Chain A
């Protein structure tokens, strides 16, 4: 591994166990079939080793002389995508109660960004490691590439164990680390900073936790599934009005979403917020008086179900909100760059905050007493209500009629605040961006 370039941080953060280590401690994954079996990962995994010999292109040679290409964490031994060594990493946490719409929103976000990042922001957005993104890709396929667009389909309920976790053995103890979704975002030549590809590129890590992990008491000593909260550059909290008693009541009669009309679910989402705040405070040694400095986006999900609660003035602004992209000339070159219209986002956030104060003031209080910068954004991953299948009791969606609304906005907004100019931010706003080194 040659990494003399100055833009590459001298340390890496493992996206599985969040161990921060100097690059020279990076392990390699042997490739000779005889080197089967690793102390942490079991008999079927290739052995990890600290290399002493390399080939001409800088790839390590294992003890049998085979050329290796995969890199692994010195602590947990899990494979780390190469992109995370070649560019700076950014972590974002997505949290919310069970059923608030996390899995649907992540799939819709990544699918939309794949389609639009090039056109809108002159950025490429791709899987850094297709294998670790496998579950997410399956979800995207179900929703957006389905061969039967008119038949009901569902995304499975996210498990607290299993496919999205990797077991790692430390002596007699086995820990289950959540599998990250890793993307690489790189400027295209037409990007105003297209010449600084190496410096500008970012590896972005997201996690799809089961909502149960965020519930009070949901922490498990053998599954440190929510530790990413501490390393994240920003949080996306999914607030689901259809799970809030007073929102549900207000929506009766104006919404025919079965999540509102049937018995439905309700959760104390303020408790979920407080629990997350608590975990971050403990892990990051933040005192009770200190506020969290990184941005929190409260994504108010399932907009299609509660849109009727918004008044005409919101609708007027929401129409304008549709045009959140602003084009302008780059300050140092002739290139035209696209920026997110933060002013509009903030206006809409104020409207939503008022609505929240009316129905869920306890949540506003929980979020704003923890963090300095809270922005409320309306999103709908599906654009319409799911259908309740009478015979199975299952909620399903018809892929053909999915039309997301602003689903990707929370992540775009965080990127524009914390990615160091990948998505240019308007000049008037400066944020204490704190990227992971």
Chain B
């Protein structure tokens, strides 16, 4: 059975005497411990003044354990304008699904999170108990704008890099994204590389801050906020950072689809030499140098995992195979040019020598 709560600042809460930040709606029969746990996942940090349309929405998927039972919690936490006391407000709407329900679901969590009719964005009525088993309807895939990674980072291939973290023992991903980009779309694109079963094992937060509470595998941080600076100063896991500067050489190369890790690393090395404030800002992200090491480690771990657990192979297969090619694309291209060039040169020499010999 699923359970919901809606949590915001209101004149009157569901429980007698409660007001201010409190639960204003909940599913009849929700266990108290689950309710308290969901309330604790309602933190929200305003990036802009309350009421501003620029404040990001935190769409979140994570699992919580209450005593013996595990739930997968889908949440939408967002700004809600000023409250009745003239101060910043937020609204958090959580839906806790039992594992049985998750097993019966055959769509991405992002499609459920995008149902505009289910998630409350404001609460202006009296507190109420909600009927059991209210569920969001998955929007059609067209309901989520496409090309989110391409628009934000200039390269759709990043979705696969994020997805691969799952194979790598759920290595945490920190994506530092610019203001106003379509993060739920980015998560959706990354999830499409995984089987539906695996999609529900990934936890993510589309606007992660110190306030969010809970642990997530994929955390999307806003450029310019303290959380992003902290990750830049002390990178852990895979860091995908929008704020990278590349040299002219890399800019040219960035026009080609480039998913291979080697070229990513090269570009970072070059970018380190680029003095601050110079030309050459590129929307293409740069992962940290440890990524190459991690990729290598991941490959061996993957191999071990696949050997141990044949079922895990499925998700591996769903990731574009060129990611596993031993020779990276850019190198392949280079090799092709060298071989062709050599062949042409030898042919020309042979023709010239032949002509001289004929004369």
Which residue of the partner chain, among B43, B50, B214, contacts A163 with CB atoms under 8 Å? B43
CB within 8 Å of A: which B1-53 residues: 9, 15-22, 33, 36-37, 39-46, 49-51
> Do A217 and B87 touch across chains, with their CB atoms under 8 A apart?
no
A42 at the interface (CB under 8 A from B): yes
Could you mark each residue 64-87 of chain B with 1 if its beta carbon is under 8 Å from any beta carbon of chain A, else 0? 011100000000000001111111
In the bound complex, residues from chain A placing their C-beta under 8 Å from that of B82 are 392-395
> Do A161 and B17 touch across chains, with their CB atoms under 8 A apart?
no
- Smallest distance from the beta carbon of A256 to chain B beta carbons, Å? 15
* Complexed CA–CA distance, A128 and B213 (Å): 25
Whether A216 contacts B83 in the complex (CB less than 8 A), given A174-B37, A222-B37, comes out as no
In the bound complex, residues from chain B placing their C-beta under 8 Å from that of A42 are 215
In the bound complex, residues from chain A placing their C-beta under 8 Å from that of B37 are 174, 222
- Smallest distance from the beta carbon of A241 to chain B beta carbons, Å? 16
Could you mark each residue 386-425 of chain A with 1 if its beta carbon is under 8 Å from any beta carbon of chain B, else 0? 1010001111000000000000000000000000000000
* Complexed CA–CA distance, A160 and B40 (Å): 8
In the bound complex, residues from chain A placing their C-beta under 8 Å from that of B212 are 162
* Complexed CA–CA distance, A124 and B19 (Å): 40
> Do A98 and B85 touch across chains, with their CB atoms under 8 A apart?
yes
B185 at the interface (CB under 8 A from A): no
B65, closest chain A residue (CB): A172
> Do A212 and B18 touch across chains, with their CB atoms under 8 A apart?
yes
Considering residues B15, B22, B37, B214, which has the most beta carbons from chain A within 10 angstroms of its beta carbon?
Answer: B22
B126 at the interface (CB under 8 A from A): no
A59 at the interface (CB under 8 A from B): no
Q: Determine the interface band of chain B, counting residues with CB < 8 A from chain A.
A: 35 or more
- Smallest distance from the beta carbon of B99 to chain A beta carbons, Å? 15
Considering residues B43, B89, B226, which has the most beta carbons from chain A within 10 angstroms of its beta carbon?
Answer: B43
> Do B39 and A162 touch across chains, with their CB atoms under 8 A apart?
no
- Smallest distance from the beta carbon of B165 to chain A beta carbons, Å? 13
CB within 8 Å of A: which B291-305 residues: none
- Smallest distance from the beta carbon of B65 to chain A beta carbons, Å? 5
CB within 8 Å of A: which B142-178 residues: 172
Number of chain A residues whose Cβ lies closer than 8 Å to a Cβ of chain B: 39
In the bound complex, residues from chain A placing their C-beta under 8 Å from that of B18 are 212, 215, 217-218
* Complexed CA–CA distance, A157 and B49 (Å): 12
A1 at the interface (CB under 8 A from B): no
> Do B51 and A99 touch across chains, with their CB atoms under 8 A apart?
no
> Do B210 and A154 touch across chains, with their CB atoms under 8 A apart?
no
> Do A393 and B81 touch across chains, with their CB atoms under 8 A apart?
yes
> Do B46 and A162 touch across chains, with their CB atoms under 8 A apart?
no
In the bound complex, residues from chain B placing their C-beta under 8 Å from that of A393 are 51, 81-82, 86
In the bound complex, residues from chain B placing their C-beta under 8 Å from that of A165 are 43, 213
In the bound complex, residues from chain A placing their C-beta under 8 Å from that of B44 are 159, 162
A387, closest chain B residue (CB): B86
CB within 8 Å of B: which A147-191 residues: 154, 156-157, 159-163, 165, 167, 172, 174, 176
* Complexed CA–CA distance, A36 and B235 (Å): 12
Which residue of the partner chain, among B67, B88, B209, contacts A157 with CB atoms under 8 Å? B88
* Complexed CA–CA distance, A216 and B311 (Å): 52
Whether A157 contacts B87 in the complex (CB less than 8 A), given A44-B172, A392-B50, comes out as yes
A210 at the interface (CB under 8 A from B): yes
* Complexed CA–CA distance, A211 and B87 (Å): 13
> Do B172 and A174 touch across chains, with their CB atoms under 8 A apart?
no
Whether A163 contacts B86 in the complex (CB less than 8 A), given A157-B9, A174-B40, A218-B18, comes out as no
* Complexed CA–CA distance, A356 and B18 (Å): 26
In the bound complex, residues from chain A placing their C-beta under 8 Å from that of B86 are 258, 386, 388, 393-395
Whether A215 contacts B50 in the complex (CB less than 8 A), given A157-B88, A163-B210, comes out as no
In the bound complex, residues from chain B placing their C-beta under 8 Å from that of A160 are 21, 39
In the bound complex, residues from chain B placing their C-beta under 8 Å from that of A254 are none
CB within 8 Å of B: which A97-135 residues: 98-99, 134
In the bound complex, residues from chain A placing their C-beta under 8 Å from that of B20 are 98-99, 157, 210-212, 215
A210, closest chain B residue (CB): B21
A135, closest chain B residue (CB): B210
> Do A265 and B17 touch across chains, with their CB atoms under 8 A apart?
no
B211 at the interface (CB under 8 A from A): yes
> Do B42 and A161 touch across chains, with their CB atoms under 8 A apart?
yes
> Do B50 and A222 touch across chains, with their CB atoms under 8 A apart?
no
A223 at the interface (CB under 8 A from B): yes
> Do A161 and B41 touch across chains, with their CB atoms under 8 A apart?
yes
* Complexed CA–CA distance, A160 and B22 (Å): 9
B135 at the interface (CB under 8 A from A): no
CB within 8 Å of B: which A331-348 residues: none
In the bound complex, residues from chain B placing their C-beta under 8 Å from that of A36 are 236
> Do A156 and B88 touch across chains, with their CB atoms under 8 A apart?
yes
- Smallest distance from the beta carbon of A151 to chain B beta carbons, Å? 10
In the bound complex, residues from chain A placing their C-beta under 8 Å from that of B226 are 134
In the bound complex, residues from chain B placing their C-beta under 8 Å from that of A265 are 84-85
Which residue of the partner chain, among A43, A99, A212, contacts B215 with CB atoms under 8 Å? A43
A220 at the interface (CB under 8 A from B): yes
In the bound complex, residues from chain B placing their C-beta under 8 Å from that of A218 are 18
A44, closest chain B residue (CB): B236
> Do A394 and B49 touch across chains, with their CB atoms under 8 A apart?
yes
6 of the cross-chain contacts (CB-CB < 8 Å) are A44-B236, A154-B50, A161-B211, A215-B19, A223-B36, A395-B85
Q: Considering the complex of A and B, which 6 residue pairs feature the smallest CB-CB distances, nearest first?
A: A162-B43, A162-B211, A395-B86, A157-B87, A98-B20, A393-B82
Other CB < 8 Å A-B pairs besides A157-B83, A217-B18, 10 of them?
Answer: A161-B43, A162-B212, A163-B209, A167-B40, A167-B213, A167-B214, A176-B213, A393-B81, A394-B51, A394-B86
B interface residues, Cβ below 8 angstroms from A: 9, 15-22, 33, 36-37, 39-46, 49-51, 65-67, 81-90, 172, 209-215, 226, 236
